[in-house]
Amino acid sequence: KFEKIWLTFGIGTLLVFLTTVGVGAFYMGTQPASCLVTIDPEKVRETAPFDNPGLRHIEGNKYELNIVTSAFAFTPNQIQIPKGAEVVINVTTTDVVHGFQVAGTNINMMVHPGYINTYTQKFDKTGEYLILCNEYCGAGHHLMSAKIEVV
Ligand code: CUA
């Protein structure tokens, strides 16, 4: 009888421990400081700046690039950026978690529904850069790609 009590207590303690670690890891690990801005995922396409996604000139060499991810596409999926541009990239999703990785750069974000992820990147080299989704998001995950052309 006592064994049963101790066993229950042991399992209970283990569960509390695992939950604490799990919850901690979730909030610390998967919510980078850059996704503090929130957005209603269902209203992304009606909410500025995502109602008119793409590259926008701010001033001088400063640009803003707004990207919408959804199963299974990036909008827009062809982007031209002038060489030397400093681009603030904002990414959000209309549905599930997607990835936003630009091959050949340090840009690698996890895009959570309800949040806007931001990353600033200077494009100094001309060429083509592949944008990939690196989070499994469903049957069409492998089809999800886009292209940045620095000219
Ligand atoms: Cu989107 Cu994988």
Does ligand 1 have an atom closer than 6 angstroms to the CB of 137? yes
Token pair recorded at residue 40:
């209603």
Same domain, 9 and 82: no
For 40-72, the pLDDT digits (tens) are 999 999 999 999 999 999 999 999 999 999 999
Same domain, 66 and 126: yes
Burial classification of residue 16, based on how many CB atoms lie within 10 Å of its CB (0-12 exposed, 13-18 middle, 19 or more buried): exposed
DSSP, collapsed to helix, strand or coil, labels residue 133 as: coil
Closest ligand 1 atom to the C-alpha of 144? Answer: 1
Residue having the nearest C-alpha atom to atom 1 of ligand 1:
98
Closest ligand 1 atom to the C-alpha of 138? Answer: 2
Same domain, 69 and 120: yes
Burial classification of residue 144, based on how many CB atoms lie within 10 Å of its CB (0-12 exposed, 13-18 middle, 19 or more buried): buried
Number of domains in the chain: 2
ipTM above 0.90, yes or no: yes
Residue 76 sits in which domain range? 37-150
Closest ligand 1 atom to the C-alpha of 98? Answer: 1
State the distance from the centre of ligand 1 to the C-alpha of 151, rounded, in angstroms. Answer: 27
Evaluate if residue 93 carries a pLDDT over 70: yes
pLDDT at 27: 55
User: What is the pLDDT confidence band of residue 8, given thresholds at 50, 70 and 90?
Assistant: confident
* Mean pLDDT, rounded, for 73-92: 98
Query: Residues with Cβ < 8 Å from 44, sequence gap 6 or more?
Result: 50, 68, 92, 93, 94
pLDDT at 4: 80
Top pLDDT among 24 and 109 is at: 109
* Mean pLDDT, rounded, for 110-129: 96
State the distance from the centre of ligand 1 to the C-alpha of 149, rounded, in angstroms. Answer: 21
State the distance from the centre of ligand 1 to the C-alpha of 24, rounded, in angstroms. Answer: 25
Evaluate if residue 12 carries a pLDDT over 90: no
